[in-house]
């Protein structure tokens, strides 16, 4: 049943009534039941927040322990729930063991750097802007040729490509642009002839040793493997006259987790009444994490590449007032960012609490 009361607009996100702002109050991200609220002031202009619910901006580069000599010790979790664990890693040296995650799938996003990843299915050369999707149980070893910073999205559920619906199978990216490994024997020398595999299960590490290379696959076939997708091969959809919801930019999905990629694209230039920046929205069913990779982050001030913002359920969010002003004369956005939405509430780790900007919660009212 649809109702309408008071001052509204006919087309959501277009011709917002003079003196009001629009807030989307919606279920299921942006695809379920929804109402649009027309308010006199933005819903973020709070003057005090007491209690622990607040938006956060995290300076991930400052995470304690980031970039330790060992890959597993040097990857630092910053947000987690039972479906997803988000970590940052800085890998400088080649790993001297293989690693297998039995707790979940891993999606590695290469924020900076390049090198080689050896996997059960074969090796791949990775570079900045790559997503490397490693199904649960895959063994891998990182061999960076340049210091590599990774955003690691660990999901209990299987990572798949979202249904494109009416857009068809080739929208956003053609399946043909996904690279998969070709099996190849490794020529690496290992210390004392022992090949070590570290397996993570329930966050505890077990080391299994072989007298031969356990990555000895000479061929494989099937539809479960490692994927490599570079963000330059993603072609975002846009609309000249209507601000699309962020779910239009979904790249991967896992149970109760959505991974989306925001990429350079034209703004809404075809109708002066159309909103150009994200509309205010209430997180009713998802927590939202945005990792800023590169470019110009037009909806946020004071955000640098390598930072994360975290907007938990219960508080609405939206663009900064200065961003709305700045967008008026812009025709494009050059932002490159990764969004992770989770249905269940995320908790900040102790390490994350230490790198959270103390006054981010009040940055809209300044
Ligand atoms: Fe959002």
For residue 257, report the distance from its CA to the centre of ligand 1, in Å: 14
Parallel/antiparallel/unpaired status of strands 287-294 and 130-134:
unpaired
Give the predicted TM-score (pTM) of the model: 0.96
For residue 258, report the distance from its CA to the centre of ligand 1, in Å: 12
Whether the domain at 21-57+234-361 and the domain at 61-231 fall into the same CATH topology = yes
For residue 278, report the distance from its CA to the centre of ligand 1, in Å: 8
Instruction: Count Cα atoms within 13 angstroms, Cβ side, for 65.
Output: 15
Q: What pLDDT score was predicted for residue 326? A: 83
For residue 54, report the distance from its CA to the centre of ligand 1, in Å: 14
How far is Cα 116 from Cα 97, in angstroms, rounded to an integer?
14
Q: Quick one: tokens of 295?
A: 């470019």
For residue 179, report the distance from its CA to the centre of ligand 1, in Å: 30
How far is Cα 258 from Cα 101, in angstroms, rounded to an integer?
20
For residue 230, report the distance from its CA to the centre of ligand 1, in Å: 23
How far is Cα 111 from Cα 129, in angstroms, rounded to an integer?
6
* Per-residue pLDDT tens listing for the chain (366 residues): 999 999 999 999 999 999 999 999 999 988 899 999 999 999 999 999 999 999 999 999 999 999 888 999 999 999 999 999 999 999 999 999 999 999 999 999 999 999 999 999 999 999 999 999 999 999 999 999 999 999 999 999 999 999 999 999 999 999 999 999 999 999 988 989 999 999 999 999 999 999 999 999 999 999 999 999 999 999 999 999 999 999 999 999 999 999 999 999 999 999 999 999 888 998 889 999 999 999 987 666 778 899 999 999 999 999 887 788 888 889 999 999 999 999 999 999 999 999 999 999 998 876
For residue 177, report the distance from its CA to the centre of ligand 1, in Å: 28
Scan for tokens 């509204």, then name that residue. 8
First to last CA, the chain: 39
Please give the full DSSP string across 225-285, using - where no structure is assigned: --EEEEGGG-B----SSS---GGGGEEEEETTEEEEEE--EE---S-TTB--SPPEEEESS
For residue 289, report the distance from its CA to the centre of ligand 1, in Å: 8
For residue 287, report the distance from its CA to the centre of ligand 1, in Å: 9
Q: What pLDDT score was predicted for residue 325? A: 83
Q: Per CATH, the architecture of 61-231 is what?
A: Sandwich (2.60)
Q: Which residues are placed with Cβ below 5 angstroms of ligand 1, an ion?
A: 288
For residue 286, report the distance from its CA to the centre of ligand 1, in Å: 9
Q: What pLDDT score was predicted for residue 299? A: 63
Closest CA to 287 of 55, 48, 89: 55
Closest CA to 93 of 130, 148, 132, 151: 148
For residue 188, report the distance from its CA to the centre of ligand 1, in Å: 45
For residue 105, report the distance from its CA to the centre of ligand 1, in Å: 24
- Cα 158 to its chain centre, rounded Å, is 16
Helices (H), the chain: 321-327, 350-353
Domain boundaries, the chain: 21-57+234-361, 61-231
Task: List the CATH code of the domain at 21-57+234-361.
Answer: 2.60.120.10
How far is Cα 261 from Cα 172, in angstroms, rounded to an integer?
10
For residue 283, report the distance from its CA to the centre of ligand 1, in Å: 7
Closest CA to 57 of 258, 255, 307, 225: 307
For residue 93, report the distance from its CA to the centre of ligand 1, in Å: 36
Q: What pLDDT score was predicted for residue 67? A: 86
Residues 90 and 151: beta-carbon distance below 8 Å: no
Q: What pLDDT score was predicted for residue 296? A: 81
Residues 262 and 309: beta-carbon distance below 8 Å: no
For residue 181, report the distance from its CA to the centre of ligand 1, in Å: 35
Instruction: Count Cα atoms within 13 angstroms, Cβ side, for 137.
Output: 5
Q: Quick one: tokens of 304?
A: 């640098």
For residue 103, report the distance from its CA to the centre of ligand 1, in Å: 28
For residue 281, report the distance from its CA to the centre of ligand 1, in Å: 6
Residues 6+ apart with CB under 8 A from 276: 243, 267, 268, 327, 328, 330
Q: What pLDDT score was predicted for residue 298? A: 63
């Amino acid at each position: 049943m649809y109702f309408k009361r008071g001052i509204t607009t006919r087309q959501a996100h277009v011709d917002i009534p003079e003196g009001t702002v629009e807030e989307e109050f919606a279920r299921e991200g942006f695809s379920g039941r929804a109402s649009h609220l027309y308010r006199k002031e933005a819903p973020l202009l709070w003057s005090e927040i007491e209690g622990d619910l607040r938006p956060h901006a995290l300076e991930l580069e400052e995470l304690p322990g980031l970039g330790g000599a060992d890959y597993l010790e040097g990857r630092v979790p910053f947000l987690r729930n039972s479906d997803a664990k988000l970590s940052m890693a800085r890998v400088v040296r080649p790993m001297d063991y293989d690693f297998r995650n039995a707790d979940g799938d891993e999606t590695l996003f290469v924020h900076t750097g390049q090198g080689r990843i050896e996997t059960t299915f074969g090796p791949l050369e990775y570079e900045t802007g790559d997503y490397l999707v490693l199904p649960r149980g895959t063994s891998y070893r990182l061999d960076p040729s340049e210091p590599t910073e990774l955003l690691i999205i660990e999901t209990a559920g299987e990572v798949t490509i979202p249904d494109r619906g009416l857009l068809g199978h080739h929208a956003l990216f053609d399946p043909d642009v996904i690279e998969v490994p070709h099996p190849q024997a490794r020529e690496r020398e290992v210390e004392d002839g022992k090949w070590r595999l570290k397996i993570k299960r329930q966050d505890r590490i077990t080391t299994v040793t072989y007298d031969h290379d356990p990555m000895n696959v000479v061929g494989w076939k099937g539809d479960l493997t490692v994927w490599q997708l570079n963000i330059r091969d993603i072609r975002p959809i846009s609309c000249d006259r209507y601000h699309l919801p962020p779910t239009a930019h979904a790249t991967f999905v896992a149970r109760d987790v959505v991974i989306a990629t925001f990429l350079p694209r034209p703004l809404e230039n075809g109708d002066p009444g159309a909103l150009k920046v994200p509309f205010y929205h209430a997180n009713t069913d998802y927590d939202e994490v945005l990792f800023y990779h590169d470019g110009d982050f037009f909806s946020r001030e004071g955000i640098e590449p390598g930072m994360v913002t975290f907007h938990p359920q219960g508080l609405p969010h939206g663009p900064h007032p200065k961003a709305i002003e700045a967008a008026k004369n812009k025709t494009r956005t050059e932002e490159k960012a990764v969004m992770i939405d989770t249905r269940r509430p995320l908790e900040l780790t102790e390490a994350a609490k230490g790198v959270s900007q103390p006054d981010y919660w009040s940055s809209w009212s300044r």
